[in-house]
Each structure stands twice: as structure tokens, then as C-alpha cells.
Amino acid sequence: MRAAPTILHLDMDAFYAAAEQAAKPSLRGKPVVVGGTGTRGVVATASYEARRFGVHSAMPVAQARRLCPNAAYLMPRFSLYRSVSEQVMELLGRLSPLVEPLSLDEAFVDLEAGGVADDSASARRAGERLRADIRAVTGLTGSVGLAGSKMLAKIASEQAKPDGLTLIEPGTERELLGPMPVRTLPGVGPATGEHLRRAGMTAVVDLVEAGEDELVRLLGKAHGVSLYRMAVGHDDRPVVAERDAKSVSVEDTFEVDLHDRVRIRAEVVRLSDRCVQRLRAAGRSGRTVVLKVRRYDFSTLTRSETLRGPTDDPAVVREAAGRLLESVDTTGGVRLLGVGVTGLADFTQEDLFAQAAGERAQSQSAEEAVDADPGGGVPAAPVPEPPPERRWLAGQDVRHAAYGAGWVQGSGVGRVTVRFEEPTSAPGRVRTFKVDDPDLVPSDPLPLVRAARDQAGSSPASRPKSRSGAGEEMSSP
């Protein structure tokens, strides 16, 4: 345990929803829910305005709509969130070489390792500067916790929400933790919490009074010892800069159960391609392909296949996921499908499956050409397929040839409604178009703050000096 509160925990406030409000002036100060917009979708993040109605993360969207029917329900835009996250992580990297990202919007920072804090006063100054820099660069707010351990820094940032800073002075840990619910401690989930409640322990002070031996008797040696140490405020886990992802996966929940085997197979192919896109974006490859299937009765099956070597080839992942699907009975209907890759590596290896797939594709093409023209002449041109109907999702970025940048408010019955506004504009006007209007096209997200990276580079607070006087910069892991 440290004698100074030099471990910082940053948690961006209602990150996805706040980013959407910053990007869409007409939604500022109004309830916003980000997540799946179908009847079986799940809330990813709710703005504080929506939380007042009881909406929270992981809640079914159908329930959220009943609680807050007038909220804006938007699909996630991860390209925007990743872009903002990179800006935030860059600021954290300027504070210290030891930054431990937990997610896009959350990270630990070792301020002492960066030479920017060695006591309570300097730690508080670093935390306040960071909050100001984040607001200047991204237009968003983050809550900061400062303490002598990771556990307490995270507790402090939770107490600071929204848009605040809380510092826990070393030596006050037990007094602070005592009245808190046992679920506050890391590793105490619903099952452990209920087990402790039945034993008469609902507050952290109850764990301390019960003693280590009793917790070991109730929970086993490893869990009992760890929980007692945390209950008395002891947590010596270091901030670790390199946190390797163990897997990459994507999944979709369907509004109506899928019964058609051809459609199920097509969805697995689509998910495989999305999974590989994420894999390549992270610069990784993987050795094991995992298929997840949740059936009509909520039973969930997982199947996996380990390849001969790491790959990021979409054809290889598609074929492996297809083979796994063949071993699953889907006759009753499928609610959810997921495809993942584990056993990640930083390199790819020539894969015999991919080579075989390529050879089969070439062979098949040659056979089709011969069948089309046995006499050896030029094959007839294929009949073009009609273009698929364009699909517009709520919250999607678009651009119109006449009206400029905007976002989709909703679509249906062959029409799409768009509000034309930008992050730095006033609330914009709404217009409706046919879904196939050629002047309306998908667009990339606009920056939330103009010249954000220039501001990050010019901010004096973003360039702290190390103890040796040299500035140290490190990109986010």
C-alpha cells in the first residue's frame, strides 16, 4: 500500500451516451439510450437524464422503453467511441508510462511512475488538470479517483460521479470502507454477496469483524484470504501497462427467432467477417474459432475448433464457424449467434485451410466456366442482381448532397428521417427522404471538438515533466 494517493482511476461519464449528446446538439440535456434498438436489444449506456427514469446498463431495451418512452434510442457507433478513447488514452499516456486501460472509457494510471505526483496535493493537481484537458480535447467529462491502491481509486471515481474528483487519503481506508455494501469489493458478485448475506454479512465492516478464518471457511482459502485483505483496505496490485486481450468476438441478438438454416448460416458468415475485421484492426490473429448459439429456450451452446496456426483470414474463420454450426441443432429456433477468436497472436501463419479454400474456389470457378460454355467460347455475362434495399439505423451518420452532415432519427415503410446538424452547430432541422435517395449516403463521424489533437498537443497541462526534467510520451496500449 502506498503512502500517497498516486494511483489514479479515470471513468468517463456515461461515455457512449455522452458522446452521442456531444455529437448531436438536439439531444443535449435529453434522455439518450445507446444499445440494441430491437425488441431484444440490451442497453449499453444510458445518459444521466435517462437514468432518472430507472434506465441502466444491461437492461433489456424493451423494459427501458417502458420506463422512458421519450428517450432517443440509438445504435452504438464504435468508430466514434474508439476515436475519442484514443484521445483520452493519449492524455493519460502523457501523465505516466504506466497506463492500464480496462475498456474504451476506463483506465488506471500510476502517477508516481510518471513523476507527476508524490503526495496528495500534487496528485490532486494532476487529476484536475487531466479532467480539464479531457474536456478541452473531447468536449466530454470524466470522473477521477485518487488513492493508494487500485481498489480504492476505483471506489473513489465512483463516488466522484458525475464530473468530479475524489481523493482518499492513505490511512483512512478502513473507516471509509466499513459502512459500504460488501458488493463494493472486487470479486463479490451476486452469488458471493447472497452467500455472505445469509451468513449475516452485508457491510464491509461485517467481513472485518468476522475475521479471515471465518471468510476462508465460508468461501475457501484463496477467495476468503483475498476478500479479507480487501475488506481491511489492503490491495497491492500494481498498475500494469500491457493488458493483452484474450479474445475478439462479436454477437447479435435477433428480434425474431431464426429457423431457416440458410439464413442462420448466412448470419454466421456475416459475424465471422465482422470478427475478422476487429481482429485485423487490433493487429492480431487467432488460433481458436468459437461459435456461440443461444436457442429459443435460452439454452446457450458454445463450440470451438483450434486451427493449425494463428490466422486472420476471413475464409478460414468462416469455414471453421460453418463446421461448428453443423454440430448444433437449431431446429427449435435461434435467438442469438456469436463468433469469436481466441488464442491471440501478433502474427499470422500460412494456413492449409486457407490454401485449400483458395484452390477449391479456383477449381469451382473453372468448372462453372466450362459448364457455361462447353464449346470453349466466351461465357455469357452473368445477369446482375438487383441492389439490396438500403438500411438506415437510428443514430447513423449520413451526408446529403444538398443539406450536408446529419444523423438518422428513424426509418420505416420506405422512408428515412434525418436531422441535419453537426457537433459544433445549433440543433438542426429534420427532413424525410426515400430510403434509396441517391443523394443520401453513409458518412464517417465528425470530430466532437474542432482541432482536438492540436489542442491536446498544445496544452501545457498535457506535457508534465518527469523527475529528470524530460517530458515522456507514450501512446496508449
- Please list the active-site residues: 106
Residue among 388, 396, 425 at smallest CA distance from 78: 396
Indicate the burial class of 122 (C-beta count within 10 angstroms; 0-12, 13-18, 19 or more): middle
CA separation for the pair 222, 187 (Å, rounded): 11
DSSP 445: P
Q: Quick one: CA dihedral 250, 253, 259, 260, positive or negative?
A: negative
Q: Which residues pair with 440 in a beta bridge?
A: 400
Task: Specify the pairing of strand 106-110 against strand 7-12.
Answer: antiparallel
CA torsion 431-432-436-438 (nearest 10°) is -20
Residue among 193, 227, 223, 222 at smallest CA distance from 210: 227
Exposure string for 224-260, b = 16+ CB within 10 A, e = fewer: bebbbbbbebebeeebebeeeeeebbbebbbeeebee
CA separation for the pair 71, 37 (Å, rounded): 12
CA separation for the pair 156, 173 (Å, rounded): 11
C-alpha distances out from residue 174 to 124, 193, 213, 228, 375, Å: 21, 20, 19, 12, 88
CB 19 within 8 A of CB 80: yes
CA separation for the pair 146, 172 (Å, rounded): 13
The three-point CA angle 295-304-330 to 5° equals 25
Indicate the burial class of 157 (C-beta count within 10 angstroms; 0-12, 13-18, 19 or more): buried
